[in-house]
Amino acid sequence: MTAAQLAAAPVPPHIPAHLVFDFDIYADPRIGEDVQGTYAAALEDAPGIFWTRLNGGHWIVKSFDAISQIVLDPEHFSVREMQIPRVQNPPFMIPLSLDPPKNLPYRRAMMPMFGPAAIKALEPRIREWAAEFVEAVADKGACDFQADVSKVFPVSVFMELMGMDLARLQDFRHLAEDFFSAQNDEAELGRLSALILGELKGLIAEKRAVPDGKLMSHFITVDVDGRTMSDDEILAMSFVLFLGGMDTVTNVTGFAFQQLAQMPEVQARLAADPSLIPAFADEAVRLYGVVNTPRLVVQDQQIGEARFRDGEMVLNVLCLGSRDPAKFEQPNIFDLDRKKTAHLTFSSGPHLCVGHVLGRAELRILTEEWVKRVPAFRAVPGEKHGFRIGTVMALESLPVEWDIAD
């Protein structure tokens, strides 16, 4: 977008002045490397639902109850457009861009590969991958956790699950990172979407010729309401999985370990009692959500004082819903002993993240393998941690170090 387009847009007349709070979801200067924590601080004084004039003007929702209401109300808040500002030809992803009930047959087609039983069966292989990447750095005494572990471990698991060529890992990672960095650049978004779709078309053709029982082969043959899917449907389904598999778990893991690096007492507890690691993973997932999920208003609706009008965009900041002080005691504090409770990191309802079981398992297993080999570590003093904000937030770098026994 041009500077003029990014400038503050006029406030629509139906929005009262006290609900206006300017915030740039792509480049707000108040956001730092503790992305979710500084997000919470920057918006602490903003209403639970407010209007920002930036990026074309749109709603931002941060309260747990309001987000829950919106994501469970496709009659008024649709997923068919998810770009802020709105673009002429938004990417179409199955089931992400379909409101219920249209998304349900596709979710049913995906679930056999992502349900608890399937992920439980995958755990030995996930653990092999985790051990391989941790062992590669454990004797070095230092690494960039993002580059050396978090950007390769979950991506390798996903690529193997899909039946993709692991030699192309860095190519595909860069494509996904560039896509999320271009969310407010319509032309670049279109170019990158075309590149990703081109790669996926090639994979479909390859698996039609030589089926391998992996996820793409499953999509080619799976029954969807008594028929198989067209190539266009498979592409639209694979597109969202590609982006999620390449980027989302990587970033939740990075933010979780950025926090863990600052907590030697928690590291010591996890090393002494690995049965606490599932609780660590649960609390990390609550605190360090990375997806902010947009909706398009398709019918006028009112929630509290906020009057939503047809055609307006809404951004649900899921990580803030999971830090809502009305729902969580000391919501911004990492508490290993916090009682497990519902949160919004993976959204809710008909668009609950399909890969949430896999994501939790990957974070838990990686932590188990890490603390076996690196029971105590710290962030390298003075080193900057690069990050990205927007609809999907990322930690780009995390230099860490640890002592090696002589």
Residue 238 counted as domain residue: yes
What total of structural domains would you count in the chain?
Answer: 1
**How many secondary structure helices (H) and strands (E) does the chain include?**
16, 12
State which residues form the domain around 208: 17-401
What is the DSSP-derived secondary structure letter of residue 166?
Answer: G
Residue 1 counted as domain residue: no
Ordered strands of the 77-78 beta sheet: 49-52, 58-61, 313-317, 292-297, 77-78
Strands 394-395 and 399-401: unpaired
pLDDT at 2: 44
Which residue in this structure is represented by tokens 């990172």? Answer: 177
Positive/negative CA dihedral, 46, 50, 51, 52? positive
Cα-Cα end-to-end distance for the chain? 55
Residue 205 counted as domain residue: yes
Residue 209 counted as domain residue: yes
Which residue in this structure is represented by tokens 């606490």? Answer: 276
Concatenated DSSP letters for 181-237? HTTT-HHHHHHHHHHHHHHHHHHHHHHHHS--SSHHHHHHH--BTTBPPPHHHHHHH
278: domain CATH number is 1.10.630.10
Helix/strand/coil for 253: helix
Structure tokens at 362: 């990957």
pLDDT at 244: 85
Closest C-alpha among 241, 68, 37 to residue 158: 241
Residue 217 counted as domain residue: yes
Tens of pLDDT along the chain (406 residues) come to 444 345 689 999 999 999 999 999 999 999 999 999 999 999 999 999 999 999 999 999 999 999 999 999 999 999 999 999 998 888 889 999 999 999 999 999 998 899 999 999 999 999 999 999 999 999 999 999 999 999 999 999 999 999 999 999 999 989 988 988 887 788 898 899 999 999 999 999 999 999 999 999 999 999 999 999 999 999 999 998 998 888 889 999 999 999 999 999 999 999 999 999 999 999 999 999 999 999 999 999 999 999 999 999 999 999 999 999 999 999 999 999 999 888 999 888 888 899 999 999 999 999 999 999 999 999 999 999 999 999 999 999 999 999 998 6
Helix/strand/coil for 89: coil
Concatenated DSSP letters for 335-380? -TTPPP---STT--GGG--TTHHHHHHHHHHHHHHHHHH-SS-EEP
Residue 330 counted as domain residue: yes
Positive/negative CA dihedral, 158, 163, 167, 172? negative
The Cα–Cα gap between 368 and 127 comes to: 9
pLDDT at 88: 85
Residue 344 counted as domain residue: yes
pLDDT at 138: 98
pLDDT at 317: 97
Structure tokens at 126: 């996930």
Residue 97 counted as domain residue: yes
